[in-house]
């Protein structure tokens, strides 16, 4: 089964990927979609930098930028960033290992407004000694906010690193708590 998953992941990673960029109160947003679903949601300060990050993530893929067909998806993500209580339900196609997929599924089960620790997630997926590996899977999350890695905190409840910046993590958690 692992071989099948990696073959599927390679196939998705070498196809055509359409992407578009927009802005939110958290900065620039890039959303990318394969033929199976959203494969990347990136946050940052500059759309060009996000596009380079996307190319680095999918070096074998043909990237098609400024896709007007993604305007609705971009709008959904921007609305979710501002008002997370509205929820976000997108067809997802995140590329990752079997372990990362298990972590990402567990993250999607954390309700908005709540947090869990890396150790909690490790326990939920049946790998209680894998808190560091859970943190690495969070850092590898390709779809910001849709897979809510921002809801994972240290055991003491304090914020730790966030791929898109701790200030963005704090802003997302504050909005969800409101």
Question: Is 149 a catalytic site residue?
Answer: yes
Residue 5 neighbours by CB under 8 Å, 6+ apart:
98, 101
Residue 131 CB neighbours (<10 A)? 19
- CB-hemisphere CA count at 13 Å for 6? 5
* Cβ 55 vs Cβ 76: under 8 Å: no
Can you tell me the distance from the alpha carbon of 17 to that of 19, in angstroms, rounded to the nearest whole number? 7
* Cβ 107 vs Cβ 121: under 8 Å: yes
- Of the residues 26, 110, 138, 149, only one is catalytic, namely 149
Q: Give me the active site residues, please.
A: 149
């Amino acid at each position: 089964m692992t071989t099948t998953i990696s073959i599927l992941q390679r196939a998705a990673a070498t196809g055509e990927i359409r992407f578009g960029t927009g802005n939110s109160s958290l900065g620039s947003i890039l959303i990318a979609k394969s033929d199976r679903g959203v494969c990347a949601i990136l946050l940052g300060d500059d759309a060009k930098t996000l596009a380079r990050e996307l190319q680095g993530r999918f070096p074998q893929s043909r990237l098609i930028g400024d896709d007007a067909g993604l305007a609705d998806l971009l709008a959904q993500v921007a609305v979710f960033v501002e008002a997370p209580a509205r929820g976000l339900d997108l067809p997802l196609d995140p590329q990752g290992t079997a372990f990362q997929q298990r972590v990402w599924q567990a993250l999607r089960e954390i309700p908005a407004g709540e947090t869990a620790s890396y150790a909690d997630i490790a326990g939920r997926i049946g790998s209680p000694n894998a808190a560091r590996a859970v943190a690495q899977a969070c850092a590898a999350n390709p779809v910001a906010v849709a897979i809510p890695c921002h809801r994972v905190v240290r055991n003491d409840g304090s914020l730790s690193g966030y791929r898109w910046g701790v200030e963005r993590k704090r802003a997302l958690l504050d909005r969800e708590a409101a």
